Chain A
Amino acid sequence: MTGELRELYQELIFDHYKRPRNCHALVGANHRAEGHNPLCGDRITVYLKVEDGIIRDVAFEGDGCAIATASASLMTEALKGKPVDEVAHLFEEFRGMVTEADTAAHPELGKLEVLAGVREFPARVKCATLAWHTLNAALKQQGKPVSTE
Chain B
Amino acid sequence: MKIEREIFARPAAAFDVARRRADFPILRERVHGKPLVYLDNAATTQKPRAVIDAEARYYACDNANVHRGVHALSQTATDSYEAARSKVRRFINARAVEEIVFVRGTTEAINLVAQSYARPLLAPGDEILLSAMEHHSNIVPWQLACGQTGGSLKVIPISDAGELDMEAFAALLGPRTRLVAVTQLSNALGTITPIERIIAAAHARGVPVLVDGAQAVSHLAVDVSALDCDFYAFSGHKIFGPTGIGVLYGKAALLDAMPPYQGGGDMIRSVTFEKTEYNDLPYKFEAGTPNIAGAIGLGAALDYVSSVGMEAIAAHERDLLAYATAEASRIPGLRIVGTAKDKASILSFVLQGVHAHDVGTILDQQGVAIRAGHHCAMPVMQRFGIAGTARASFALYNTRDEVDALIAGIDQARRMFL
- Interface residues of chain A, those whose CB is within 8 Å of chain B, are 1-2, 4-5, 8-9, 14, 17-18, 39-43, 63-69, 121, 123-124, 127
Contacts and interface: CB of A to CB of B under 8 A. Distances in A.
A13 B84 CA distance: 53
B196 interface: no
Interface residues of B, number: 20
B276 interface: no
Nearest to B366: A2
Contacts of B378: 41
A9 B416 contact: yes
Contacts of A66: 354-355, 358, 417
Contacts of A18: 353
Interface in B374-391: 374, 378, 381, 387-388
A5 B367 CA distance: 13
A40 B356 CA distance: 8
Given A2-B365, A40-B387, 8 more contacts: A8-B361, A39-B373, A40-B357, A40-B373, A41-B378, A43-B387, A66-B358, A69-B355
Interface of B: 32, 353-358, 361-362, 365, 372-374, 378, 381, 387-388, 412, 416-417
Nearest to A39: B373
Contacts of B417: 14, 17, 66
Nearest to A43: B387
A42 B357 CA distance: 10
Given A40-B387, A41-B388, A1 B412 contact: yes
Contact of A41 (B32, B387, B412): B387
A39 B378 CA distance: 11
Nearest to A62: B387
A58 B288 CA distance: 56
A9 B365 CA distance: 13
Given A9-B416, A40-B374, A121 B387 contact: no
A1 B358 contact: no
